[in-house]
């Protein structure tokens, strides 16, 4: 049977065999309920606060508040930085709550159709980085998993932009202030087969795969290492792209 976190095998088993002995209480949970018969609604448990995690004043370059609503990422505090000789970097000091893994999320776009390479990483006694090409066509979501084998009390989160073309035009980079969330060390190492935001999409394991308003039946496929994946007959991408399977 599946072993849960730092629990012993007997404790893990008792979660399923004796539900009164151990209770798992989610810190934050949210569910997007939608089907072709009823209007959508959202149920939430918890207030999604980042207790014990603070984000300090950025350093490395001049960071400007964006007030033009046409340039602001809706519902997020948006900042801007300008490249110099094709590059720019900004560092946010993060005071963490002494856990082993965190997920950092921000959105980014530029004022130019030519792409920039955005890189983000944890600086200090931590590991984790991510990168993406961005331009002016829309907001790009960047997620970085930061982890360490020892508890993390603080680290610097560095965002760097580099020009990818020979064009010498300087770019303005618009980005939302990074949001930091505690996660599990397992998630840092392997990531979840079902991402956190999956509940807000039309694919929800065990239910209909609603793409265009027509229900498609799911099948349950057994995968090596006792992993179970819910796979719609007409779309195997969730199965084939699963990193734990590959």
Indicate whether 33 and 11 sit together in one domain. Answer: yes
Phi/psi for 133 (5° steps) reads -85, 135
| pLDDT in the model for residue 200 | 56
| pLDDT in the model for residue 246 | 39
Where do runs of H (alpha helix) occur along 105-182?
Answer: none
| pLDDT in the model for residue 150 | 94
Q: Is residue 81 exposed (0-12), middle (13-18) or buried (19+ Cβ within 10 Å)?
A: buried
Indicate whether 11 and 83 sit together in one domain. Answer: no
When comparing pLDDT for 61 and 199, which is higher?
61
The last residue of a domain, from among 161, 190, 219 = 190
* Range(s) of the domain holding residue 236: 193-246
pTM for this prediction: 0.66
Contact 203, 238 (CB under 8 A): yes
Residue 199's SS3 state is helix
Indicate whether 64 and 168 sit together in one domain. Answer: yes
| pLDDT in the model for residue 232 | 43
Contact 31, 50 (CB under 8 A): no
- What would the pLDDT profile of 13-56 be if each residue is shown by its tens digit? 776 666 555 555 554 455 555 555 555 555 555 444 566 889 99
According to DSSP, the residues that pair with 73 across neighbouring strands are: none
The last residue of a domain, from among 48, 69, 87 = 48
Q: What is the number of structural domains in the chain?
A: 3
Indicate whether 68 and 29 sit together in one domain. Answer: no
- 148-155: average pLDDT: 94
Q: How far apart are CA 93 and CA 127, in angstroms?
A: 15
CA 96 to chain centre: 17
Q: How far apart are CA 81 and CA 22, in angstroms?
A: 49
Indicate whether 27 and 67 sit together in one domain. Answer: no
Q: What is the DSSP string of 80-92?
A: EEE-BTTEEEEEE
Indicate whether 14 and 95 sit together in one domain. Answer: no
Indicate whether 75 and 16 sit together in one domain. Answer: no
Angle formed at CA 186 by CA 184 and CA 192, multiple of 5 degrees: 90
- 153-175: average pLDDT: 93
Indicate whether 214 and 175 sit together in one domain. Answer: no
Indicate whether 72 and 172 sit together in one domain. Answer: yes
* pLDDT range class, residue 216, cuts 50, 70, 90: very low
Indicate whether 72 and 113 sit together in one domain. Answer: yes
Q: How far apart are CA 27 and CA 51, in angstroms?
A: 11
Where do runs of H (alpha helix) occur along 49-206?
Answer: 185-190
* pLDDT range class, residue 161, cuts 50, 70, 90: very high
In the chain, DSSP assigns E strands to 29-33, 41-45, 54-55, 64-65, 78-82, 87-110, 116-123, 129-134, 140-163, 172-176, 179-182, 218-223, 227-232
Q: What is the CATH number of the domain that holds 157?
A: 2.60.120.260
Contact 66, 77 (CB under 8 A): no
Indicate whether 151 and 240 sit together in one domain. Answer: no
| pLDDT in the model for residue 242 | 46
When comparing pLDDT for 3 and 217, which is higher?
3
Indicate whether 198 and 238 sit together in one domain. Answer: yes
The last residue of a domain, from among 190, 216, 234 = 190
Q: Is residue 144 exposed (0-12), middle (13-18) or buried (19+ Cβ within 10 Å)?
A: buried
* Closest to 83 (Cα-Cα) out of 56, 117, 113: 117
Contact 174, 71 (CB under 8 A): yes
């Amino acid at each position: 049977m599946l072993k849960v976190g730092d629990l012993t095998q007997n404790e893990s088993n008792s979660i399923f065999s004796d539900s009164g002995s151990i209770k798992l209480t989610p810190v934050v949970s949210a569910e997007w309920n939608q089907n072709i018969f009823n209007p959508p609604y959202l149920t939430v448990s918890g207030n999604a606060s980042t207790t014990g995690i603070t984000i300090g004043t950025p350093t490395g370059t001049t960071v400007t508040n964006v007030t033009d609503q046409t340039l602001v990422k809706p519902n997020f505090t948006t900042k801007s930085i300008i490249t110099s000789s094709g590059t720019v970097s900004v560092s946010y000091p993060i005071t963490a709550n002494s856990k082993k893994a965190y997920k950092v999320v921000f959105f980014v776009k530029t004022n130019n159709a030519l792409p920039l390479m955005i890189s983000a990483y944890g600086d200090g006694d931590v590991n984790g980085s991510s990168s993406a090409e961005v331009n002016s066509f829309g907001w790009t979501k960047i997620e970085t998993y930061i982890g360490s084998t020892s508890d993390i009390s603080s680290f610097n989160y560095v965002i760097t932009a580099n020009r990818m073309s020979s064009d010498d035009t300087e770019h303005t980079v618009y980005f939302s202030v990074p949001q930091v969330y505690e996660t599990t060390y397992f998630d840092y190492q392997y990531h979840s087969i079902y991402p956190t935001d999956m509940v807000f999409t039309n694919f929800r394991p065990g239910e209909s795969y609603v793409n265009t308003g027509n229900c498609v039946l799911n099948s349950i496929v057994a995968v090596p290492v006792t992993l179970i994946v819910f796979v719609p007959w007409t779309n195997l991408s969730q199965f084939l792209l699963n990193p734990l399977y590959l």
